[in-house]
Structure 1
């Protein structure tokens, strides 16, 4: 009888209808596949049971998070090779349901079941979110934000570095430093907003306070930063006190729907709108519009997905939704611009910085890998593995143009005069 790796590889290739581009090492120590290919380690039969119980991305994610699957060699190369089987299957590629109509495929699945053994499918890893209640209520949004951001400030310090900025940096060159690129991003946002001393800035989704500190210290504005994360708020307040900026910055644990103390001269929303949800996006844009003074500016920095030929067929990424950003939704750039305009904004500038996010994510992955044992102690092995996979896969998604990120500058243009307050040559920030 063939060893476990050869049997597993052959059966999987029959089911998928393609040759696996990786080498497999099975739980019995056997290996099969191209000798120079990256190594996919199947540590136990439990990994196979997870895949059989939940075929596709979610089963793979569960096996990865639980440590039943691993990768030896370059993580990016392996994910790139596997992406054609998971994320980038051609439209005409056969689905599993279609494949199961073929007798030889059904026989291969029965072979996988025998190879997996008779035990029941294991429970999902504890890091997996179980959705409860309606999407995007105050309660469910607070719970989703807590899942992602209340992992521990010490863990995020490892990943993000001293800047503690958890959004796409702005790189002058790939050889620059993450800290310089994050500082340049914050400065870019401030200049697009045209911040001047004495103005009021609302920072929606303020994170650990980096934007608030930069805007107050470098541009002399007063800032209100809001977040739903208790850990972020505590960290930001301590940081602000150390900077001597408590007279100019207020950090609130508050939902954007509950802010009532406008008008503000400017609003920054950096990496926050992805959490709003498609059904609530127009109301979100209307809320921000109402909080701005006439002539005030909004800088919306947001990840975008590519539009589908059939938008009704779009579905959330199972791994991201279950382990990373519960209830998060990405929209095409055109949809975001349309919703901002429907809310009353005049969109004045759109800048795509997709390549910048790939560079940023690779730096975060390098930070995590460099301090991996401590990261696992702080967040737990499963959560650390979630972040490693999510950031590495996201870097590839940006590099291959599966997703993008854009800064959209919009103005609450006065109804009477139509004067935007923008310079004739607006891109002076370049």
Structure 2
């Protein structure tokens, strides 16, 4: 897997440091006879043995952290006389669910488990389970009626726990990619050899200057798609025969999971701070054995974080030009990207941001404060709630 950087030296060194902490692992399946799946909502979830021991492989990992270990269940819990497959929990964000909550789906490649009910824990107490969850599982042959959304503690005849095959930003297993390849084969619709995934039609978070850059990709044979405007099955179908995928850094490039192995992913960096989602995309690209290109495209006046409310802007940087020239792209080097009109739009958006959130440096300090304080809050769900509370308190949301 080759990586080529058209970026600052500082960013390249940052990425090399991230790579050193990423690795491939082996996975297996733990079977727990008379296992109890516990949903303590705010206080964690997981599987216990009939002797009341917590099963570590049922813990939801996120980097070096994980959710709370729930309390030992009481003996008086409902019993269901079925063998089930433990899938973790329902998560109300597509990108996170795709990577962190489909990371046990590889078990369904084994015929022994294909007809068993799937258990997803509703620890967020969602009234409606996101439709993309059912759509993804349907492409794996799991029908809606064979999915158990668990709201309360339940004991089962047997609980099969596939190990997590992907953990941001630390590890992946070869098995992780297999269910995505299965889903791609079953998706029907159009497909293209080269695709550019655009942020231009996002309701919020669009990147100024991107439309002019994507036109250059289009001129060079890339088909432009706007993922958020397409049904999930169609998005997957577009990827099934895609050889080269390009776009700005973000969730849309995670669709590379559905590409054939050995393709190419071109990621345009849309912020000037070193930290972005390289750790996530590189882990995906490693698992898929992809060739990777990273291009510094940001021309923003004020440095922004990767995930931010601050407006972001990209243009024809020296790094972008070098990429185009090295890879024989047809383009006009005299192009003014971003144009004066786009700069004006960006300036207005920044003024609007300042009127709502204050000057960027204060905004960054407040966000850093929230992040630091959240480190002392145990449990992923509690940290999330704490961050939301503090952001409201400090006028960040």
Does TM-score exceed 0.5, indicating one fold? no
Between Structure 1 and Structure 2, the one with more strand by share is 2
Larger Rg: 1
Calculate the TM-score normalised by the size of structure 2.
0.29
> Structure 1 length as normaliser, TM-score?
0.28
Larger helix fraction of residues: 1
Tell me: higher relative CO, structure 1 or 2? Use CA pairs within 8 A at least 6 residues apart.
2
